[in-house]
Amino acid sequence: DDAMAKWTTDQFGEGKVLLLFKNVSDIRSLQRLGFPLPEVQIGGLGGGSGRINTSSGISFDAKDVQLLKEMIAEGSDIH
């Protein structure tokens, strides 16, 4: 909510901005509010029950995969 409020006020000023999120759900929530996310780099998603590990050491569950597909459909480039 704070990030969206700041974006609405002044689009974070000039220059590039790096936002860090704890999970895919939070990223998707911000995008649903209208925050532009042209590029998203995924890293540091740890393992756990119901999660599948990738060769790069990142793990996803079915919900993560669905949310990432939605983000791609809305124009985000996922790395």
Domains recognised in the chain with CATH numbers: 2-78 (3.40.35.10)
Residue with tokens 């704070």: 2
3-state secondary structure of 52: strand
Query: What is the distance between the alpha carbons of residues 75 and 40, in angstroms, rounded to a whole number?
Result: 11
pLDDT at position 59: 75
Give yes or no for residue 73 having a pLDDT over 90.
yes
Dig out the tokens for 38 from the structure. Answer: 């042209």
Query: What is the distance between the alpha carbons of residues 11 and 48, in angstroms, rounded to a whole number?
Result: 36
Selected residue with higher pLDDT from 6 and 25: 25
- The residue among 53, 55, 74, 56 whose CA lies nearest residue 64 is 53
pLDDT in tens, 7-66: 888 877 787 888 888 889 999 999 998 888 899 988 766 666 666 666 666 777 889 889
